[in-house]
A and B are shown apart, each in its own frame.
Chain A
Amino acid sequence: MNAFYLINLLVYAAVDAMACLGLSQQFGIAGVTNFGFIIFQAAGGYAAAILAMPPDSANGGFQRYIGGWHLPFPLPWLGAAVVGGLLALPFTFLVGRRLRGDFAAVGLLVTAVLLNLLVTNFVPLFNGDAGISLIPFPLQSVLNASTQAYQWVFTAVALLLCVGVYLFLRRITESPYGRSLRAMRDNDVVADSLGKNLLSLRTGVLVLGGAIAGLSGGILVSYITTWSPAAWGYAETVVLFAAVIIGGAGNHRGAVLGAILVPVVFEEVTRFIPSSNNLPPNLIPSLEWVAIGLLIVVFLWFRPQGILPERKRVIAWPAPARPLTAADADGAGAGAGDGGAGDGDATATLAARAAERPVERPGGPGGGQAADGAAGQVLLQAAGLVRDYGGVRAVDGVSLSVRRGTLTGLIGPNGAGKSTLLAMLAGTLPASSGTISYLGQDITGMPAFRRARLGLVRTFQLASEFKRLTVLENLLSAVPGHRGDSLRGAVRGRRYWGDDEQAAIARAEQLLERFGLREMANRYAGDLSGGQRRLVEIMRALMTEPSMLLLDEPMAGVHPNLARRIGDQLVALCHDGMTILMVEHELAIMDEFCDPVIVMAEGAVLAEGTMRQLRARSEVVEAYLVG
């Protein structure tokens, strides 16, 4: 009696923990809010049922269902995982680049409500509202499923599978691929601009979470031997969300803790409430739901990070690096103090920059051209670019070309369309009309992440660091072609991608030292000052090994000393073959660093030339001063 109670408890804990792990991976790690999560568990449950059961004619026709293949264990459980994963594929169109996260969540929620309604009403599918019962235990034909020994083995297998899921997800999450997922969670537009394929990342996480949910459903139905629409109402997803939020989204141990605290405890506690008195029949279950709702709201308010918050990933430097020079220490120290006023000696760091920066990514599509690409050759060209916002034409027929190795400035009054132009060049915004070519290739319709992979990388006007990644992780997240930055690579483990990681860390270290942020490497990027965050963003862009940078006001809000340092670094990069197009407001910066300079006003290019030439032209001065 007692043993069976314990078995019951453990099986439920394993199933709920598994589901919460899958949800935590989607919601906490990848930032995909899947309000339809329960339908994947439901699908796994039905799949396991109809794979294991005999045809419905075999049991006197008291229940109807499709399938009935009567397959031996463990095929039903495998099938449950496969069906759960495959079910995710139709939903990938909801989670691509274009749709807001909350709209996608609504789409999934509505799907959950509707599928439940359909399965309830369409009896031939899974016996409708009454549900399927008499689902066989695993190996029930050869073993006696009613013995305690059998039940214990079942429990052990369920728990082992749960541990397996935990270890598997940990392996993925702690890999460069997991880092990309977390980067996408923190800011998907930026991840896109750094070459992350959001659709593929989200598809991966939906399929993986779906498979885990499906497996949990398969185990559950094999234990309780029945499955009906009442068991997977949309609100069950909310219970799992409550568990993950309370336990700690983004922390897999938190997900397990939440699974034990919320679904299991709720199930068990109500068992001990006497039902013999005069309470209305629905009172206790109703109040349970009210309590779940209250828990969500209260936890999101008082402890949004959950009981076990996401762990900080501290990466130790591989080997003791060269001792810090006084200038470096000075710069870092000052940077820590306030708004990035690190005024360490710029020339020292400039001198320190080695020629290690590759001009072109080896094997990149532009690699061949770059080798013989003489300075002065046109790298990026735009023709007749137009962008409409509703009725407003923000960019009105801009044509420009940027030559290799130049630091081209883009100035103009507020509202001139500079940032919009930059966004179209980078692919963050689609152009309403016009063409863009890069390295002689038409890239007008190419998504941002593909342009980034060609070496055309942008930064943003507003702070765009990945807040819950450390500075070092921010840099590492941008590394292109990392062996561990794919699901397959992540599964193969550190032994497979460790070397790439060490190389990336070494490069990041050099950059951090050059920009005087070495001491900040293991701080959360979201905790830095404004100026330091700009530096992180520039370093992160450099980590992609770009051949062309599009910088949107990289020095806005930065201390003048630091701005000068950034400018010197950019000039040095261009000397090494990098091409930069930089939006700036500050004419002094243009004077000092940029040549040529393009002037925009009211959505069009007004003039182009050196600052000296431009200052001589009255219409330019007028537009700038009057506009």
Chain B
Amino acid sequence: MSLFLAAVGFGLVTAAVLAIAAVGFTLQFGVTDVLNLAYGAVMIAGAFLAYVLNQAGLSVWAALPVVIVACSAGSVLLNSRIYTPFKQRGASPITLVIVSLGVTLIIEFGVQALAGGTSVSYNLAQGPTLRAGGLILTAVQIAIIGVSLVVMAGVHVMLRYSKLGKAMRATAANPALARNCGIRTGRVITTTWAITGAMCGLAGVVFGIDAGSFSPTSTDVFLVLILAAVFLGGPGQAYGAMLGAAVIGIATEVSAAFIAADYKYVVAFVVLLLMLGIRPSGLLGARA
């Protein structure tokens, strides 16, 4: 039982990291219609930027705002310099996915060229360990969960109550109609890249903290978890991605405790393939 609870505790932390990443990914896809596989690469670039600042003497938490701004700006540039021109030329969705894979290689191995191929870790005190009802978490882990909850609440408020959120949902549903209704879809899309890029940077840093050590290619496998969470809830569905992140995060860690740590991603993988095969619109998506 204690093993199970401990695994659930780890699962909560993984789910918290995953939720930030998956909600960002799914909003990016839903609103801008770009299946940006370079998302994981931007994450790891953010994690390494935080590492460089951390090495320079800054605390990771202090480096966080810098990373968020950098990843946000980077994502906006990625869209305006690469994806949008391709779209304007009438490139097919699959061409954009191939481009995003090319971008993945450029970013990921660009980071590796600069940082070397070895794993790195942040200088970060884990803080006191807290136990509550069988759950064992460090202060840092609790902070990660807290950050994630705040971000999720923020996304909820934005989508439900802000003008921008409504414009984003309208653009996601039907860009042409949204434009005809007076929504400046170009601006909405740019803003979406800025917001999701910021979430991507944040996710990268908390991923680095949670993972303990990471290398430039660490997010290759984490991207599988992101995709599983996104497709479980339904691509483009922010609440679906939250649900998916919770399920996938806890399921992987619990399975790691009871099967073998090396195979914990198998659960996510099976979920992803099942969803793609049976119900690609996801649990919360509209029926196809």
Contact = CB atoms under 8 A, between A and B. Distances in A.
Given A113-B221, A300-B98, A293 B227 contact: no
Interface string B184-227: 00000000000000000000000000000000000011011001
A110 interface: yes
A160 interface: no
B137 to A, nearest CB: 27
Interface in B47-76: none
Given A33-B97, A104-B276, A290 B103 contact: no
A98 interface: yes
A292 B280 contact: no
Q: How large is the interface on B (under 10, 10 to 19, 20 to 34, 35 or more residues)?
A: 35 or more
B35 to A, nearest CB: 5
Contacts of A110: 224, 227, 269, 272-273
A297 B262 contact: no
B93 A102 contact: yes
A78 B213 CA distance: 44
Contact of A107 (B105, B117, B276): B276
B109 A93 contact: no
A63 interface: no
A282 B109 CA distance: 10
A110 B97 CA distance: 14
Interface string B104-134: 1110111011001100000000000000000
Contacts of B239: none
A114 B267 CA distance: 11
Contacts of B117: 281-282, 286
B152 interface: no
Contact of B104 (A99, A288, A293, A304): A293
Contacts of A113: 220-221, 223-224
Interface in B256-288: 262-263, 265-266, 269, 272-273, 276-277, 280, 286-288
Contact of B220 (A234, A293, A296): A234
A481 to B, nearest CB: 31
A242 B104 CA distance: 13
Interface in A377-433: 389-390
B280 A297 contact: no
A300 B95 contact: yes
B150 interface: no
B97 A102 contact: yes
Contacts of A280: 113, 116
B266 A118 contact: yes
B82 interface: yes
Nearest to A91: B273
A103 B280 contact: yes
The CB with the most chain A CB atoms within 10 A, among B35, B109, B288, is that of B109
Given A100-B93, A297-B82, A300-B99, A118 B263 contact: yes
A349 to B, nearest CB: 35
B165 to A, nearest CB: 19
A106 B109 contact: no
Given A98-B288, A238-B102, A114 B269 contact: yes
Contacts of A234: 220
B116 A292 contact: no
Given A104-B276, A286-B112, A300-B98, A292 B266 contact: no
Contact of B113 (A94, A101, A290, A390): A290
Nearest to A32: B94
B6 interface: no
B251 interface: no
A296 B98 contact: yes
Contacts of B262: 117, 121-122
A301 interface: yes
B86 interface: yes
Contact of B106 (A107, A297, A304, A390): A297
Contacts of A290: 105-106, 109-110, 113
Contacts of B231: 103
A242 B98 CA distance: 9
A282 B112 contact: yes
B234 to A, nearest CB: 12
B98 A100 contact: no
A35 interface: yes
A290 B104 CA distance: 9
B232 interface: no
A105 B227 CA distance: 12
B276 A235 contact: no
A245 interface: yes
Contacts of A107: 272-273, 276-277
A203 to B, nearest CB: 14
Nearest to B82: A297
Contacts of A149: none
Contacts of A118: 263, 266
Contact of A287 (B82, B103, B113, B266): B113
A389 to B, nearest CB: 8
A93 B227 contact: no
A289 B101 contact: no
B113 A286 contact: yes
Contacts of B227: 106, 110
A235 B105 contact: yes
Contacts of A437: none
A241 interface: yes
A390 B101 CA distance: 32
B97 A106 contact: yes
Interface string B2-16: 000000000000000
12 contacts: A33-B97, A102-B94, A106-B227, A114-B266, A117-B221, A235-B105, A282-B116, A288-B109, A300-B99, A300-B102, A301-B86, A390-B287
Interface of B: 35, 37, 82, 85-86, 91, 93-99, 101-106, 108-110, 112-113, 116-117, 220-221, 223-224, 227, 231, 235, 262-263, 265-266, 269, 272-273, 276-277, 280, 286-288
Lowest 8 CB-CB distances: which A-B pairs, in order? A293-B105, A296-B102, A289-B109, A282-B117, A121-B262, A286-B113, A293-B106, A286-B112
Interface of A: 33, 35, 93-94, 98-107, 109-111, 113-114, 117-118, 121-122, 234-235, 238, 241-242, 245, 280-283, 286-290, 292-297, 300-301, 304, 389-390
Given A289-B108, A290-B110, 4 more contacts: A105-B97, A109-B101, A113-B223, A287-B109
